[in-house]
Amino acid sequence: MIEGGRLRRALLGTTATVVLTTALVGVAPTAVAADARSQQWYLDAMGAEDIWKKSTGAGMTVAVIDTGVDPDTPSLKGKVLKGWDAAEAKGDETDDYDGHGTTIAEIIVGSGAQGGLRGLAPDAKVIPYRVSNTELQNEQTVNAFDMSEAIKAAADSDAKIINVAFGSDYYSEEELESVQYAHKKGKLIFAASGNGALKGNKKQYPASYPEVVAVGATTQGGVVADYSQHGDYIDLAAPGSQIPGYCDKSLTKYCVSDGTSFSAALASASAALIWSVHPDWTGSQVLRAMFESAGRGADWKPGTVSTKAGHGVIRPNAHINRGIGKPGDANISPLTNEPTGGAAAGGATPSTAPSANPNPSASASTSADAPSATASTQAPDGKSTSGAPVAGSSESAAGTESGGGSNMGVIIGAVAGVIVLAGVGVVIARRRRAA
């Protein structure tokens, strides 16, 4: 167990649950119909079928830093590459101790086989990096620096996109250093903003670091969810309510729940779709196109950034099928307005062969250059908003996704809504949870 106990959580909220026959993770899950795809309302709202005519995320790899990813679910067969168990707990990165990580992977790259979840970027692949949540920390001895080391390892992999659906209330110098390392290598890091808007709305990490794309949640009705955390660090919003995912670690049935974890996963998948179409672009260019193509209401003042939805609601279809959103400068980050390392080339690369059984755990060793100093819990000034003023809470992000004729109003309605969905995590002696 970690000394002091980190408050770290997966960013899933509490919602009614619907159980399906194949399982999804969420808080207070509601059983769903037999076919999980029928519950994935957001794919229809985003015009996924039209997007897939031009991009399925082929050639892209997303690092999933979470509770582990089981490569043997029908929807993930052949899609999970060799990763690393940064938690150093029992088992390896393919042993999902909660079900949350496998859900996130399916939402990003799932094939939908045998009634499973269909990913928004179904031809992309994932690399799992397992980290611990508070519960696991209370049960086993784990690596106290697993989050920062997982981010650094992901930065050195072939993955151009890093998804973190975990959150914590505490700032960490070690974690920030790993985030900055990944950012300088041209990686895009998407993190759940947190689900505690109604419980103090305390800033979450890693979402609040300047170099991380913080993603809030919207409802099926198109407004920012009341649980979705808000602040000047929010960059984008994406569907996060009434999303199917595994009910628990048994991975036998899906449940419907809410959480910014889902929103971060959909933002990561959107980046994969766009990057697949423009393989010569840098992460900065992909993100700039995402910002410029995001859904915003008619009353949204130009040049402003919402404290609830950031630049707006993700609309990969608007870019892929209608060309909205320009790449801009290849090496200037739209997050910090500072130079980055350019193309996300990556260093040490994982095997390109999919992981089969939760057998091999050739885990990357904890290197000497991994952050090891005591974590500071005092965060510096908030995330830069690229010089754009922060809008108030009354703006709307209504809009239509017409590329291919799909109505996008359901997730791009009054984006100004309430607050954000999940909690985000950090390291040493802190509680950590899924968002």
Tokens 């957001």, located at residue: 42
Please report, to the nearest 10 degrees, the dihedral formed by the alpha carbons of residues 185, 202, 411, 41 taken in order.
Answer: 90
Is 372 among the residues known to form the active site?
A: no
CA–CA distance, 151 with 416 (Å, rounded to integer): 31
Q: What angle do CA 132, 165, 203 make, to 5 degrees?
A: 100
Q: SS3 of 37, please? A: helix
The rounded radius of gyration (Å) of the Cα atoms in the chain is: 19
Of the residues 66, 98, 146, 158, only one is catalytic, namely 66
- Residue 66 designated active-site: yes
Both tokens of residue 134?
């508070």
**DSSP reduced 3-state for 277:** helix
Judge whether 406 counts as a catalytic residue.
no
d(CA 329, CA 347): 23
Catalytic residue selected from 132, 178, 228, 261:
261
Give, in order, the Cα–Cα distances in Å from 97 to each of 1, 10, 285: 15, 12, 36
Phi and psi of 80, rounded to 5°?
Answer: -110, 120
| Residue from 92, 96, 98, 100 carrying the catalytic annotation | 100
Name the phi and psi angles at 180, rounded to 5. Answer: -65, -35
Q: Which residues are catalytic?
A: 66, 100, 261
